[in-house]
Structure 1
Amino acid sequence: MSFKSICVYGAGALGGAIAAKLAAAGNGVTISAVARGAHLKSIRENGLKLYEAGAEKPIKVEITATDDPYSLPKQDLIITGLKGHQLGDAAEGIAALLKDGTRVMMILNGIPWWYFHRDSQSPHAELQFEELDPAGRLWRLIGPERVIGCVAMQGAEVVNPGEIQLSNNGRYILGEPSGEMSDDLEGIKALLTAAGLNVSMTPRIRDEIWNKLTGNAAFNPLSALTRALMTDIMADPALYDMVGKIMNEVRAVGTALGAKFSITIEERLEQSRHIGAVRTSMLQDLLAGKALEIVPLSGMVVALGRLASVPTPVSETVLALVSQLDIENRRGA
């Protein structure tokens, strides 16, 4: 279908960056955004500013922004920028924007709620996890058949309300849960590419989910527990060793569920040395007093490890620690 109306639902760091790029490109597409708080207020009053990596001047766009999705018309395409633990509460709002044929491109870290929909890599097709989708609201109100999976290799941060900074020239990998190379997939890729994003497609989106989770499950919780930047974690011998152990556990669980990995753990560690002095998204949320994205990352490594009879002792320890940190941090906030 032709995607002429697009809502970015959750226009924070990454979602806001995509909204800004799409709006700046024009291409006859109407862009709206769902945001909240001071960020929403600034977008409404001053527009949305995006500083790309290395740029001195921002892209600035004016877009329709609201905290009330029911005030928007039905959409051809919804792009979610929410984290996994935020999606359940947004299910009704997202569903209000759906019409026949609407696709929902979900940018998620870790294991997504739709992971086992039409999964042919493991014997667990259509398995649902309550911890990823409480009361099955996402499965029931949105439907996994609408989903386009998206793995984003893009560092982004809201540096001020209405202002987003990208830390790298990222890339986005899209895939249907079924593995089909559909017309919708082609259309969304063309749309995002025309907006200046580096986009590719794959028939094996779950492989890409596990490849990214290899890093996220290690660096995100460790950065929150230590408040360390990526460079600091990689420079500390004990933390470096722990990163490697978590990565090996993630790979073992993913492999047991049929995932294929494109590089070795040693190569992944070497890549991580060059990411720079970056604050992970979990560290950003910790410092802002927000709930942490624990379940789709560490939580599901442990849960799926049990499902596949793969031991994950280091991940279990990290999960216990970061879960309590989350409770105490929000209590303090």
Structure 2
Amino acid sequence: MKDVEDNIAEQQHQLRLCVAGAGAIGITLATKLAAQYPNVSILARGRTLADIREKGIALTDRDGHRALEVPVASAEGLGIQDVVFLCPKAQDLPQLAKDIQPLLHEGTLIVPVVNGIPWWYFEGAGASHRPHDIHAVDPGRELKALLPSACVIGCVTMFTAARISRSEAVAMNGVKLVLGEIDNQDKPRSHELGALLNACGIETRVSERIRDPLWTKVIANLMSNPLSVVAETHLRDLCGLEPLSRVVKQLLNEALLVAASYGARLELDPESLMKFAAGMGEVKTSMLQDYESGHPLELGAICDAVIELGDIRGLDMPLTRTITAIARYKSDAAMRAAA
């Protein structure tokens, strides 16, 4: 590890890091990176780009409050990058994948920091997984075409954050990531990137089976996010109060069967998942935050993709389908009313 840290130190004035997408997760990562690392930029557009240019970015987390000025521009204005962190909502990823093309060179590392089942799930997975297209997240195979698998490092977020303005975020429960090669091979680049992130105060570990923490996060989202929109309440009530907790357990059980059918080894058992979520307190899920803000919901990657994977294995998910349908109806109705 010392050799890796020395290597990172030697490269830190050369590697160019770009955070593409300035939502809550993007601002959190960009602020923590830029506080310790010299070559960090943000890809943004529209009013968000203008706000960050004028005000910089700011983060409040366990380490306090910090505000920084960070270069921000469109892809054409930023130029070639060595590592690109993709931080959009899942439904916005296809457009962002197009936007980042001017940032990429042959060796650019692409790190998708996105909720839900990723388009790369069956890429490089070996004989244990027959290849499939996941239509819920990549219906036209655009992502496969635009984001070369050889450049992708899998990433799972293990923290929550909220954006309180276009340029400022709050993340009070510890900023943690899991990285892993999507072909389950142990490669120096993942460890080097992990060392860089750790040096910037982003607690990062490298997994040899990235789909295990991925399923843990997907199930945690699936059992809470759509139901939080239907019930319009926070995690403590969802997972701690009857009858909502009973619904959460049923959603959890449906998702566990699908995960097991793909050989996943969850990093938290079901009871621990429930206790962890309830212990988060009055925290609103990202999907509930989006619903209340009138933004589209990440139902495709978090819900529809898991239902699709269940269909491939012949596993029905009746309650998940129902809760997803109600959440989608509420979201669509709210957006129509706002329009």
Specify if TM > 0.5.
yes
- Following TM superposition, by how much is the alpha carbon of 1:71 offset from its aligned partner in structure 2, in angstroms? 2.0
- Following TM superposition, by how much is the alpha carbon of 1:42 offset from its aligned partner in structure 2, in angstroms? 2.5
Q: How does 1:165-184 map to 2 (within 5 A)?
A: 165-184=170-189
For 2:4, the equivalent position in structure 1 comes to none
- Residue 158 of structure 1 aligns to a residue whose secondary structure is strand
- Following TM superposition, by how much is the alpha carbon of 1:214 offset from its aligned partner in structure 2, in angstroms? 1.4
For 2:122, the equivalent position in structure 1 comes to 116
Q: CA offsets, 1:276-306, max 9 Å, x none?
A: 1111110111111111000111111211111
Choose from 191, 215, 218 the match for 1:213.
Answer: 218
CA–CA separation in structure 2 for the residues paired with 1:158 and 1:121: 41
152-161 vs 230-239, greater mean Cα deviation: 230-239
- Following TM superposition, by how much is the alpha carbon of 1:313 offset from its aligned partner in structure 2, in angstroms? 1.2
CA–CA separation in structure 2 for the residues paired with 1:224 and 1:329: 11
Q: How does 1:4-23 map to 2 (within 5 A)?
A: 4-23=15-34
Q: Does the alignment pair 1:48 with 2:53?
A: no
For 1:241, the equivalent position in structure 2 comes to 246
Letter in 1 for 2:67: K
For 1:99, the equivalent position in structure 2 comes to 105
For 1:60, the equivalent position in structure 2 comes to 67
Choose from 295, 299, 308 the match for 1:294.
Answer: 299
- Residue 213 of structure 2 aligns to a residue whose secondary structure is helix
- Residue 258 of structure 2 aligns to a residue whose secondary structure is helix
Q: How does 1:257-296 map to 2 (within 5 A)?
A: 257-296=262-301
Q: How does 1:302-313 map to 2 (within 5 A)?
A: 302-313=307-318
- Residue 159 of structure 1 aligns to a residue whose secondary structure is strand
Q: Does the alignment pair 1:86 with 2:92?
A: yes
CA contact (8 A) 1:8 1:80 kept: yes
CA–CA separation in structure 2 for the residues paired with 1:278 and 1:272: 9
Q: CA offsets, 1:220-240, max 9 Å, x none?
A: 111112221112223430110
- Residue 135 of structure 1 aligns to a residue whose secondary structure is coil
Q: CA offsets, 1:138-172, max 9 Å, x none?
A: 11122222111111111101112311101211311
- Following TM superposition, by how much is the alpha carbon of 1:330 offset from its aligned partner in structure 2, in angstroms? 2.0
- Residue 140 of structure 2 aligns to a residue whose secondary structure is helix
Letter in 1 for 2:284: R
- Residue 145 of structure 1 aligns to a residue whose secondary structure is helix
5+ residue gaps in structure 2? 1-6
For 2:75, the equivalent position in structure 1 comes to 69
5+ residue gaps in structure 1? none
- Residue 227 of structure 2 aligns to a residue whose secondary structure is helix
Q: CA offsets, 1:89-134, max 9 Å, x none?
A: 1221122211010010111211001111011373323x22232113
CA contact (8 A) 1:121 1:257 kept: no
* Aligned-residue identity in percent: 31
Report how many residues are paired: 327
Letter in 1 for 2:115: N
CA contact (8 A) 1:231 1:278 kept: yes
Residues 197, 95 of structure 1: CA spacing in aligned structure 2 closer, same or farther, 3 A cutoff?
A: same
CA contact (8 A) 1:109 1:209 kept: no
- Following TM superposition, by how much is the alpha carbon of 1:206 offset from its aligned partner in structure 2, in angstroms? 0.5
86-95 vs 16-25, greater mean Cα deviation: 86-95
CA–CA separation in structure 1 for the residues paired with 2:62 and 2:47: 24
Q: How does 1:119-268 map to 2 (within 5 A)?
A: 119-120=125-126, 122-125=128-131, 127-268=132-273
CA–CA separation in structure 1 for the residues paired with 2:260 and 2:304: 17
- Aligned-residue CA RMSD (Å): 1.6
Letter in 1 for 2:299: I
CA–CA separation in structure 2 for the residues paired with 1:276 and 1:267: 15
Residues 54, 101 of structure 1: CA spacing in aligned structure 2 closer, same or farther, 3 A cutoff?
A: closer
CA contact (8 A) 2:81 2:108 kept: yes
- Residue 329 of structure 1 aligns to a residue whose secondary structure is helix
Q: Which runs of 4+ in 1 moved over 2 A?
A: 35-42, 120-123
Residues 231, 114 of structure 1: CA spacing in aligned structure 2 closer, same or farther, 3 A cutoff?
A: same
TM-score where L is the length of structure 1: 0.94
CA contact (8 A) 1:7 1:31 kept: yes
CA–CA separation in structure 2 for the residues paired with 1:244 and 1:288: 28
CA–CA separation in structure 2 for the residues paired with 1:245 and 1:204: 26
CA contact (8 A) 1:114 1:128 kept: no
- Residue 67 of structure 2 aligns to a residue whose secondary structure is strand
CA–CA separation in structure 2 for the residues paired with 1:70 and 1:142: 18
